[in-house]
Amino acid sequence: MKTNYGVLTTLLVLVIMMTTKAETTENPLLKTFENIHQTAPFDKIENEHFLPAFKVAIEEARAEVQEIIDNPEPPTFENTVVAMSKTGDRLSTIRKIFFNLNSAETNDEIQKIAQEVAPMLSEFGNDISLNPDLFARVKVVYEQKDELELNPEQETLLENSYLGFVRSGANLNDDDKARYREITGELSKLGLTFSENVLAETNAFELHITDENELTGLPEFAKEAAAHTAKSKDKEGWIFTLQYPSYIPFMKYADNRELREEMFRAFSTKANKGNKFDNKEIIQKIVDLKLEKAKLLGYESHADYTLQRRMAETPDRVLTFIDELHQASRPAAEKDFDEVVEFARSEGFTGELQRWDWGYYSEKLKKARYGFNEEEVKPYFKLENVIDGVFNLANTLYGLELKENKEIPVYHPDVKAYEVFDATGNFVSVLYMDFFPRDGKRSGAWMTDFRGQWIEGDEDIRPHVSIVTNFTKPTETKPSLLTFDELTTFLHEFGHGLHGMLSKCQYESTSGTNVFWDFVELPSQMHENWAYEKEWLDRFAVHYETGEKIPAELIEKIVAAKNFQSGYMSERQLSFGLLDMAYYNATEPLSQPVAEIETKAMTPTELFPPVDGSLMSTSFSHIFAGGYSAGYYSYKWAEVLDADAFAAFKANGIFDKETADAFRTNILEKGGSENPMDLYVRFKGQKPTVDALLERSGLKN
């Protein structure tokens, strides 16, 4: 007799809900979201709501999956594959809210909950992917795929579903399945711990200066921000931190070389100090466990496993791609380096140029050569004006209107929520924007979502997208004034946001940014190009005090400096890709210390003398706590795509509606519903080559 697990699981849900009634009856995460556009009730969610909500939602999802397994009808695309794609909606919502907060507004309590929840979610995921009865139903449908007359998105969903099971251990024997569960559970916790350690080390350091003479060279905006930070900590003087808006200006402008060295050493030794936040052992475990998992599944390396579902397809192709760009970049990088050394000598510098000297003398050389520096540009990039400019670009290209709605709850007072509408007034998306650094937010910039996009019956469920950055904060006397790098970062993350907001797909798992990882950076990097276009800058860039439009000669300087040290920057990015592949293309467990692996991997691109204790790996969150393991090359891969794509705008006009419509309908709206190269060729008419990137970067001979 076959046990009816669906009934038993449903009863278990009821028991859990009854036994935790005191906690869950008023739990906002377990109620229907009644805010406008069903946005998350951040004003009602407390930390204690998460754990009971996760427990209930996991059991609900189990019951939904069990219903599919117990369905007496023969497996079909609709009753098995589509039904699977619709399970766990509540769990997905809670998961997104919680882990987005863990990145943008975390605290000790949230981090503790994360360590408890991560293995629960891993176990649940394994219970699904390793369920032989469920896999059997999916396999029946997959084996009929040629007779099903599916459209391209349905084919993609079926392919993803079947391979998702296979790549998650469905074909393993019982002993290997048990080991697979152990590995994935441990990896889920290790990634969280890695991130927590980096954040703790970032927050632990501050350079406290009380003698104003030690601030020479620093522009007013940097000094005022540091004074503001000191005041917020009830201290005198100035405080500089390892957050980018504080660290980068200090390294570019501070005359005091000893303090630059102190800042650099603090930044480059994060999680590499032999204390409780040290990440070296965690790296070893992560790399070895990912290799073991790949071998369990029949792959030679984690890179082989990962790249099966990437445009690049194989490690050899990635390494060939990196080497091709390395060969083009290296001569230019060496020239860039020698020019800075020569310039430093002309400024009276003696000795060997060190990493803490690079930003300082590079900035001086750029100013001497082009008459351009960040301080000169910042007054024209008041954050509010940049927001208007970016929104105007979205309107010009894609007909979007963005309107702030203060009735939408947010998770921190700094966050702004917008409603996005199309040219005909139809609702497109909610967009949250969270701009400034704080102790509870990890460094960097990213796009994420609180809800994806999909079709439910006749209803198009629209997404809730979030853009998170760490821009220069306003002070008591100045608004937030962005550097040029921050402007391009805004465009980059907004490009990701457009990919999420404009999605028009049938299924959530194929919508928005759910694409091959080496394709996901195309929309983000392509939109950065407008930062160098006078036509666009003229629309919003005015001096925050005088209202004067950004001078044409200043834009000319920006454009002229565009390829300043492009060889060096290319080599730097390629070095990260080589480091990533050194860890994840290995076919045997790590036998060398992390520092030795890093040195060997990055030597081909190295230009500086080594610095004792300096280690990139221990804070390389992209590949140890993010989704970029065996995938960091994706940034350069997408640069090839974006340079080739923007060439179409340059040829037809940077605001050309026909080109923008083609990019929207073939790229932004399609998400991961079809093979990315097919989508790209449909947009451009041909496959991309590296030529456009080399030409744009000034690296083509």
User: Scanning the structure block, which residue is given the tokens 């834009």?
Assistant: 555
Count the alpha carbons within 13 Å of 94 in the hemisphere toward its beta carbon: 30
Cα separation of 456 and 399, whole Å?
25
- Please state, in angstroms and rounded to a whole number, the distance separating the CA atoms of residues 520 and 81: 25
- Asked if residues 550 and 541 have their Cβ atoms less than 8 Å apart, the reply is yes
Contact 683, 663 (CB under 8 A): yes
Which residue in this structure is represented by tokens 């030597």?
603
Separation CA 91–CA 97 (nearest Å): 10
**48 part of the active site:** no
Amino acid identity, position 464: H
Q: Which residues of 265-288 are buried (b: 16+ CB within 10 A; e: fewer)?
A: bbbbbbbbbeeebbbbebbbbbbb
- CA angle at 555 for the pair 554 and 558, rounded to the nearest 5°: 90
Q: Is 383 left (phi over 0), alpha (psi -120 to 50) or beta?
A: alpha
Q: Taking a C-beta distance cutoff of 8 angstroms, is the pair 75, 138 a contact?
A: yes
182 CB-near residues (< 8 Å, 6+ apart): none
Q: What is the rounded distance in angstroms from the CA atom of residue 312 to the CA atom of residue 325?
A: 15
Beta pairing, strands 416-421 & 238-240:
unpaired
Q: 521 and 633 in contact (C-beta within 8 Å)?
A: no
271: Cβ contacts below 8 Å, ≥ 6 apart: 194, 197, 198, 201, 277, 278, 279, 280, 618, 619
Which amino acid is present at 328? A
Q: Are 532 and 481 in contact (CB under 8 A)?
A: no
Rg over alpha carbons for the chain, rounded to the nearest Å, is: 26
CB 576 within 8 Å of CB 632: yes
- In the chain the first and final C-alpha atoms are separated, in Å, by 74
Q: List strand residue ranges (DSSP E) for 160-237, in order.
A: 207-209
DSSP state of 542: B
Q: Rounded distance, CA 151 to CA 617, Å?
A: 43
Task: Collapse the DSSP code of 465 into the 3-class scheme (helix H, G, I; strand E, B; otherwise coil) and give the result.
Answer: strand
Angstrom distance (rounded) from CA 278 to CA 100? 24
Contact status, residue 131 vs residue 64, Cβ threshold 8 Å: no
Tokens of 691: 């030529």
CB contact at 8 A, 464 and 417: no
Question: Catalytic: which of 493, 508, 521, 598?
Answer: 493
Query: Which residues make beta-bridge pairs with 300?
Result: none
Scan for tokens 């060439």, then name that residue.
647
**Contact by Cβ (8 Å): 240, 267:** no
What tokens appear for 152 in the block? 């391209």
Q: With contact defined as beta carbons under 8 Å apart, do 287 and 590 qualify?
A: yes
Contact 652, 307 (CB under 8 A): no
- Using the structure block, give the residue that is written with the tokens 């949250």: 432
Residues tagged active-site: 493
